[in-house]
Chains A and B, each alone.
Chain A
Amino acid sequence: MLFSLIESFRSALIAIFANRMRSFLTTLGIIIGVASVISVVSLTGGMSAFIGDSFEALGSNSLTISSYTPFEDLMKGVRSRLSPEDLELIERRADGIASITPILAANRSSQIKYGPQTSFSEILGTTYAFQDVSQSYTQSGRFLAQSDNLTRRRVAVIGEEVRDNLNLPDNPINEYIEFSGEWFKIVGLLESRGEVMGQSRDNLVLIPYSTMVSILGNQTRTDIGIQLTLSPSAELDLVTIQLTALLRDAHNLGAGEEDDFRIQTPEQLTEQVDEILGTLTLVVGGIVSISLLVGGIGIMNIMLVSVTERTREIGVCKAIGAKSHHILMQFLIEAMLLSLIGGIIGLALGYGLGALISSGIPDFPPASVPPWAALLALGFSGAVGVLFGILPAAKASRLDPIDALRYE
């Protein structure tokens, strides 16, 4: 069986390469299908690896607390919020916290000015602890200091893109920018943190938390975010439970009421992103299975033509001793190889396409094809070949040798 099988592979390859153009066109459906799925998978794969890395940078022992308004309350016009008192409470009562910082976003105008230039960016009021919690450090100048907060100093630490947008000098330290009618002295420039999904992470202005509170002063009901990192010995789950209990108590929530805040870990964020990417992959997979189906039908069609063309050869092979299964295997292997070669070309093409796209978009994570996706793509294309090769191969194997030999 072995040697005749090897021979089947050899003659299948000869038959495929004897009609290069036809084989290529036949397998084009498979090539396009596999190339498209692999390029999408390589992009999403690269993205999820990158997102994983960026949340890793946040520190796997960090937590984000933000307010959450249940839908029912939203309809009533009630908005949940986290207050500075909640922050104080956590600072005083919670265990296992290494550093904690409030984050207060400017929720009216986030327009900033430098001379004639204006720009919009994310403006956050926070404290010195932000640099540990979010792993963002200055490349020149200094970060916000404790004293900045205590004295409500009008100072700012800006991201690389803000400097660029406002045409600030290469060293923007000691320049002044205007925000909400106040002048802020730039004391530090942050290291670039790149982009996530096309969203810049460098378009950021950090000012002291207490300064932000005073600017937003007339809005008494501020809603802050809280970021914290755990001390190395602390258990994430225990801290989460403790924080939940503290905040529920502070917000006077009854036993049956939903939390009016959310405590999120980087893992949860990663999971959410992965879920979105997973859905995307499924959708693409669905589209691709249609293209593989069409490709398979193309292969079946051309194999049927091939069987008719080679009727006489089949007759000769039967006359000199080929049994039905020899002919069957011959054509099945040919259909499988045809499809598999398409799969391999599609794999290479899809990888190249993914790499091209990811390198074409600035700061996009590099494309990566997980081995399971490559194997799956090849497995599927081979299976398509076998599936759609059955009919032509069975037709060939059932030919009567006398009729086949007489065929012109």
Chain B
Amino acid sequence: MATQSKGVEAAVFNSELGTDMDLISLIDISKHYQMGGQTVKALDSVTVHIAKNDYLAFIGSSGSGKSTMLNILGCLDRPSIGTYHLNGKDVDSLTENELSEIRNLEIGFIFQSFNLLPRSTALANVMQPLVYRNISYKARKKLALEALQRVGLDSRISHFPNQLSGGQRQRVAIARALVTEPSILLADEPTGNLDSRTTDEIMILFDRLHHDGHTLIIVTHETEIADHCKRVVELKDGRIFSDSRH
């Protein structure tokens, strides 16, 4: 069970633990939105350090700042204030195209609704991120096949997303995230659209990826998912409410 009662002190305590070994350092991150003349603080001075091979879940109810955290961690959005170091790079001040490159190199996204390209086969979907690295078809195919093998889907590579079950689609999406050898895998409610049996399968796959040395960050509101993780960070009203390891 996740520990959820240590309060703000725990977050402060953990933030002090930042070392040079950290893969991700979010320091004093704030994100403000203008909404109808009012400033909404989606994130308010959050500091988090994430080490390599961490297996971390961000949990919290809706409006807690989870999505904003995901967007910033995934380099889809820039913080209003604060600094973000990812794998030794300062990413808080990059341009749109530089962020695209960082996402391609460092981040593997896994979405709740899979977000596969509907007109591409499983194989082509997995090959897609490599297109932006300008890799030849042959090399792309080789890497994609390896990635599909790792998620146990090498037999259905020429199927289109609508010919695959939910669990299979999510495996394709995980293969697509893995194929670029990113420094972090970032999953947004990865089992939200799956039944409990398939959820277990996917979580076992995540556990194995963690075991293989990947850094996984999962954003979820399901405590069962968070239980798989080694570290759980709970967000509340844009601040860290608790940060626990188990």
**A interface with B by C-beta (< 8 Å):** 1-4, 6-7, 11, 14-15, 18, 312-313, 315-326, 401-402, 405
B96, B97, B115, B131: the one contacting A7 at CB < 8 Å is B131
Assuming the contacts A11-B120, A312-B115, asked whether A318 and B135 have C-beta atoms less than 8 A apart, the reply is: no
Residues of B within 8 A of A315 (CB): 115
Contact of B238 with A by CB under 8 A = no
Residues of A within 8 A of B97 (CB): 323-325
**21 A-B contacts, Cβ less than 8 Å apart?**
A3-B136, A4-B131, A11-B119, A14-B120, A15-B119, A313-B117, A316-B116, A317-B117, A318-B100, A319-B103, A320-B104, A320-B129, A320-B132, A321-B105, A321-B132, A323-B97, A323-B100, A323-B132, A324-B97, A326-B131, A405-B76
The total number of A-B Cβ pairs within 8 Å is: 73
Contact of B171 with A by CB under 8 A = no
| Shortest Cβ distance from residue B55 to the other chain A in the assembled complex, whole angstroms | 22
Beyond A313-B118, A320-B103, A326-B132, 16 additional contacts (C-beta under 8 Å) are A2-B134, A11-B120, A15-B119, A313-B117, A316-B117, A318-B103, A320-B129, A321-B129, A321-B132, A323-B96, A324-B96, A324-B100, A326-B131, A401-B76, A402-B76, A405-B115
B134/A320 in contact, CB under 8 A: no
Q: Considering only CB atoms, which chain B residue lies closest to A316 in the complex? A: B115
Residues of A within 8 A of B128 (CB): 317, 320
Interface string of B102-140 (1 = CB under 8 A from A): 011100010100011111100000001101111111001
Q: Considering only CB atoms, which chain A residue lies closest to B98 in the complex? A: A323
A319, A324, A402: the one contacting B109 at CB < 8 Å is A319
For the complex, what is the distance from the CA of A312 to the CA of B115, rounded to whole Å? 8
A4/B134 in contact, CB under 8 A: yes
Contact of B60 with A by CB under 8 A = no
Contact of B66 with A by CB under 8 A = no
Residues of A within 8 A of B71 (CB): 402
Residues of B within 8 A of A325 (CB): 97
Residues of A within 8 A of B115 (CB): 312, 315-316, 319, 405
Residues of B within 8 A of A11 (CB): 119-120
| Shortest Cβ distance from residue B13 to the other chain A in the assembled complex, whole angstroms | 31
For the complex, what is the distance from the CA of A252 to the CA of B111, rounded to whole Å? 99
| Shortest Cβ distance from residue A226 to the other chain B in the assembled complex, whole angstroms | 74
Q: Considering only CB atoms, which chain B residue lies closest to A7 in the complex? A: B131
Q: Considering only CB atoms, which chain A residue lies closest to B118 in the complex? A: A313
| Shortest Cβ distance from residue A190 to the other chain B in the assembled complex, whole angstroms | 67
A6/B137 in contact, CB under 8 A: yes
A319/B131 in contact, CB under 8 A: no
For the complex, what is the distance from the CA of A2 to the CA of B71, rounded to whole Å? 31
Residues of A within 8 A of B135 (CB): 3
What 10 pairs between A and B have smallest CB-CB spacing? A321-B104, A321-B132, A320-B129, A323-B100, A323-B97, A316-B115, A7-B131, A3-B134, A401-B76, A402-B76
| Shortest Cβ distance from residue B162 to the other chain A in the assembled complex, whole angstroms | 12
Residues of A within 8 A of B105 (CB): 321
A320/B109 in contact, CB under 8 A: yes
Residues of A within 8 A of B109 (CB): 319-320
Q: Which of B103, B128, B129, B132 has the most CB of A within 10 A?
A: B132
For the complex, what is the distance from the CA of A318 to the CA of B96, rounded to whole Å? 10
A18/B132 in contact, CB under 8 A: no
| Shortest Cβ distance from residue B92 to the other chain A in the assembled complex, whole angstroms | 16
Residues of A within 8 A of B119 (CB): 11, 14-15, 18
Assuming the contacts A319-B76, A321-B101, A321-B103, asked whether A1 and B134 have C-beta atoms less than 8 A apart, the reply is: yes
Contact of B74 with A by CB under 8 A = yes
| Shortest Cβ distance from residue A149 to the other chain B in the assembled complex, whole angstroms | 83
Contact of B189 with A by CB under 8 A = no
| Shortest Cβ distance from residue B218 to the other chain A in the assembled complex, whole angstroms | 16
For the complex, what is the distance from the CA of A320 to the CA of B77, rounded to whole Å? 14
For the complex, what is the distance from the CA of A401 to the CA of B97, rounded to whole Å? 11
Residues of A within 8 A of B96 (CB): 323-324
Q: Which of A7, A14, A313 has the most CB of B within 10 A?
A: A7
A320/B101 in contact, CB under 8 A: no
Contact of B169 with A by CB under 8 A = no
Q: Which of B115, B140, B176 has the most CB of A within 10 A?
A: B115
| Shortest Cβ distance from residue A394 to the other chain B in the assembled complex, whole angstroms | 14
A322/B100 in contact, CB under 8 A: yes
Q: Considering only CB atoms, which chain B residue lies closest to A14 in the complex? A: B119
For the complex, what is the distance from the CA of A316 to the CA of B180, rounded to whole Å? 15
Q: Which of B109, B116, B131, B132 has the most CB of A within 10 A?
A: B131
| Shortest Cβ distance from residue B190 to the other chain A in the assembled complex, whole angstroms | 14
Residues of A within 8 A of B180 (CB): 320-321
Q: Considering only CB atoms, which chain A residue lies closest to B68 in the complex? A: A402
Interface string of B85-101 (1 = CB under 8 A from A): 00000000000110011
| Shortest Cβ distance from residue B22 to the other chain A in the assembled complex, whole angstroms | 24
Interface string of B67-84 (1 = CB under 8 A from A): 000010010110000000
Residues of A within 8 A of B74 (CB): 319
For the complex, what is the distance from the CA of A324 to the CA of B98, rounded to whole Å? 10
For the complex, what is the distance from the CA of A100 to the CA of B140, rounded to whole Å? 80
For the complex, what is the distance from the CA of A324 to the CA of B97, rounded to whole Å? 7
A2, A4, A6, A405: the one contacting B132 at CB < 8 Å is A4
Q: Which of A315, A316, A402 has the most CB of B within 10 A?
A: A316
Assuming the contacts A11-B120, A401-B76, asked whether A320 and B176 have C-beta atoms less than 8 A apart, the reply is: yes
| Shortest Cβ distance from residue B145 to the other chain A in the assembled complex, whole angstroms | 17
| Shortest Cβ distance from residue A317 to the other chain B in the assembled complex, whole angstroms | 7
A3, A14, A318, A402: the one contacting B131 at CB < 8 Å is A3
Residues of B within 8 A of A401 (CB): 76
Residues of B within 8 A of A4 (CB): 131-132, 134
For the complex, what is the distance from the CA of A320 to the CA of B101, rounded to whole Å? 9
